[in-house]
Chain A
Amino acid sequence: MGGAAAINLGSGMEKKKIDDYEPIPIPHVRVDRFGFVIQELNDSPDGLTKNRSACQYAREERRIRKWRKMIGIGGSDWKHYVRRKPHVVKRRIRKGIPDCLRGLVWQLISGSRDLLLMNPGVYEQLVIYETSASELDIIRDISRTFPSHIFFQQRHGPGQRSLYNVLKAYSVFDRDVGYVQGMGFVAGLLLLYMSEEDAFWLLVALLKGAVHAPMEGLYLVGLPLVQQYLFQFESLARENLPKVGEHFTQEMINPSMYASQWFITVFSYSFPFHLALRIWDVFLYQGVKIVFKVGLALLKYCQDDLIKLPFEKLIHALRNFPEDAMNPDTLLPMAYSIKVSKRLEELKLEYEKKNGKPAEEPKGKQKHLLLKMH
């Protein structure tokens, strides 16, 4: 699992957590189970600080065994299983991928594993031999990406170096996108679960659309896909939550004031990490619609409070959701129950009609491009 695994002591170590044993790489620094430094004021950053009971532990073990069987050795049975029992896979992913298998499963469901196998040596070439116009911009942001995570804290340490490499490689691979602030959080999250090269190809899979619609429009000049998503989100919020929609209109709140970063970083920028991971599990399998669903679920969960607040308090509330709202086990089922697929499609067409040309490149063309890399 490369450099990341060697240092990423907090994550994927379910057993150690249960035995209440935490390896601490730097003296006097306490980290949560994901590797984020625990601040005194922040009492339960990962929402799971309590020891689990033996029963819960046994259940988790059973879950991991089921997943291992489903994946097969090194992912060999995965495709077969998905074809045979797509509903089982979907249900299990929605419950959360076991942390120790997350890195592997993410690569399988995003299609990045295939890209990696099709393009041997490409990443190395990009990292070692190419130069990027964005190098200084990337360097400036490296220490500002997950600054509270132990893996990324050490100046020029392995975390910062691999983050730099992935971002630089991508900025060379796709010079139209280059480097945009926000990509660092996506790459950083991936690096906590896989090697540099794997993280790079997952980024490629997402932005170029290996499985779902390409998301490079989130970062291209003019941020066209951000604009489209915000338009879609605003309409969906109005339709699903008319009271909230009306209040937001009255207070002149629009989603660009609070939801841009939800889309640009897929909730990895400022949401509790354990929630972000659960969202990512579903996001990589089912695509961006989970971002809309979670956004709507957050508004829905808090709507009674939100509709009472004036502009400034409203903005504050939309950036600081209460802890109970961000519990994955209540928020996600609520998100799953909100249906958006059909309306998203219609709203996309509406947006394109309003703004001229489509915001995304056709999918087929991108795949072709990737195959050519080989």
Chain B
Amino acid sequence: MALCTEEEQSEDYLFKVVLIGDSAVGKSNLLARFARDEFYPNSKSTIGVEFQTQKMDINGKEVKAQIWDTAGQERFRAVTSAYYRGAVGALLVYDISRRQTFDDIGRWLNELHTHSDMNVVTILVGNKSDLKDLREVSTAEGKALAEAQGLFFIETSALDSSNVAAAFQTVVIEIYNILSRKVIQTQELKKEDPAWMGSGKTIVLHDGNQEVDGQAKKGGCC
């Protein structure tokens, strides 16, 4: 797999992914590191939503992730929850050096499930793994919660870059795999009808103009 730079021909797939979690856990810096290989120790807090796209190459197919980075403060959920709609992937981020942000994960999961499809491919991300001496949430705890909730799990550091690309890629590859399985199944069922993609929610675009119904993702996320 390789990351492609921006601007090129039209992508094969477009996935909407949301970045959620408490304020100041490092969501914007994860995205800045992933999309632009940048890190700002004192980046401004996100007001409302920010947006970024990133192209990736998966099995020779060009996949574009459309990533929505949301404000973490509870008050902003009034305006950010609208952005969960249509998301097929989510990075649910906490700060390993602040237990409160981990304790709030349940609330974020509820929020995600209230406002989006139950089958959003979700990864639990313990960020700031570079802060070894300040760790308040062990890797085992993170892993256990992820298993209990049926989520992927990874620990990252936007500061030293570790696992940042992997976190995003895990989500995108999984969405791609679910989609391919579905496409294969559906093709077996409807071999003679190439127009089957014509209806449904605009969640996943194929070849830039055909749409895959939201149901295509039904395959679970783990």
Q: Which residues of A contact B71 (CB under 8 A)?
A: 181
Nearest-CB distance from B79 to chain A (Å)?
A: 6
B82 A181 Cβ-Cβ under 8 A? no
Question: In the bound complex, how far is the Cα of B75 from the Cα of A264, in angstroms?
Answer: 12
Chain B proximity mask over A235-261: 1 for CB below 8 Å, otherwise 0:
000000000000000000000110011
Question: In the bound complex, how far is the Cα of B79 from the Cα of A219, in angstroms?
Answer: 12
Nearest-CB distance from A220 to chain B (Å)?
A: 8
Chain B proximity mask over A289-316: 1 for CB below 8 Å, otherwise 0:
0000000000000000000000010011
Among B43, B53, B75, B79, contact of A147 (Cβ-Cβ < 8 Å): B43
Q: Is B42 an interface residue (CB 8 A)?
A: yes
Chain B proximity mask over A329-368: 1 for CB below 8 Å, otherwise 0:
0000000000000000000000000000000000000000
B45 A144 Cβ-Cβ under 8 A? yes
Q: Which residues of A contact B46 (CB under 8 A)?
A: 181
Nearest-CB distance from B154 to chain A (Å)?
A: 24
Q: Is B163 an interface residue (CB 8 A)?
A: no
A223 B47 Cβ-Cβ under 8 A? no
Nearest-CB distance from A267 to chain B (Å)?
A: 12
Q: Is A222 an interface residue (CB 8 A)?
A: yes
Q: Is A221 an interface residue (CB 8 A)?
A: yes
Nearest-CB distance from B34 to chain A (Å)?
A: 16
Q: Which residues of A contact B51 (CB under 8 A)?
A: 257, 312, 315-316, 319
Q: Which residues of A contact B42 (CB under 8 A)?
A: 143-144, 147
B48 A260 Cβ-Cβ under 8 A? yes
**Total cross-chain contacts (CB, 8 A):** 69
With A180-B73, A181-B47, A264-B47 as contacts: A141 and B79 at CB distance below 8 Å: no
Chain B proximity mask over A163-181: 1 for CB below 8 Å, otherwise 0:
0000000000000000011
Q: Which residues of B contact A226 (CB under 8 A)?
A: 78-79
Nearest-CB distance from B99 to chain A (Å)?
A: 13
Q: Is B191 an interface residue (CB 8 A)?
A: no
A269 B44 Cβ-Cβ under 8 A? yes
Q: Which residues of A contact B170 (CB under 8 A)?
A: none
Within 8 A of B (CB), among A172-193: 180-182, 184
Q: Is A60 an interface residue (CB 8 A)?
A: no
Q: Is A195 an interface residue (CB 8 A)?
A: no
A144 B76 Cβ-Cβ under 8 A? no
Within 8 A of A (CB), among B165-205: none
Q: Is B49 an interface residue (CB 8 A)?
A: yes
A144 B49 Cβ-Cβ under 8 A? no
Nearest-CB distance from B121 to chain A (Å)?
A: 21
Within 8 A of A (CB), among B55-78: 66, 71, 73, 75-76, 78
Q: Is B23 an interface residue (CB 8 A)?
A: yes
B73 A137 Cβ-Cβ under 8 A? yes
B66 A260 Cβ-Cβ under 8 A? no
Q: Is B24 an interface residue (CB 8 A)?
A: yes
Within 8 A of A (CB), among B27-58: 40, 42-51, 53
With A221-B75, A222-B78, A226-B79 as contacts: A181 and B53 at CB distance below 8 Å: no
With A182-B47, A260-B47 as contacts: A223 and B73 at CB distance below 8 Å: no
A180-B76, A265-B47 given; name 13 further pairs at CB < 8 Å.
Answer: A137-B23, A143-B42, A144-B43, A181-B47, A181-B75, A184-B45, A221-B75, A223-B79, A256-B48, A256-B79, A260-B47, A260-B49, A316-B51
Question: Which 8 A/B pairs are nearest by Cβ-Cβ distance?
Answer: A260-B48, A147-B42, A261-B47, A222-B78, A181-B45, A144-B45, A223-B78, A140-B24
Q: Give 29 A-B contacts (CB < 8 Å), ordered by A residue.
A: A137-B23, A137-B73, A140-B23, A143-B42, A144-B42, A144-B44, A144-B45, A147-B40, A147-B44, A180-B73, A181-B23, A181-B47, A181-B73, A182-B47, A184-B45, A219-B75, A223-B75, A223-B79, A256-B49, A256-B82, A257-B51, A260-B47, A260-B79, A261-B47, A261-B48, A265-B47, A269-B44, A312-B51, A315-B51
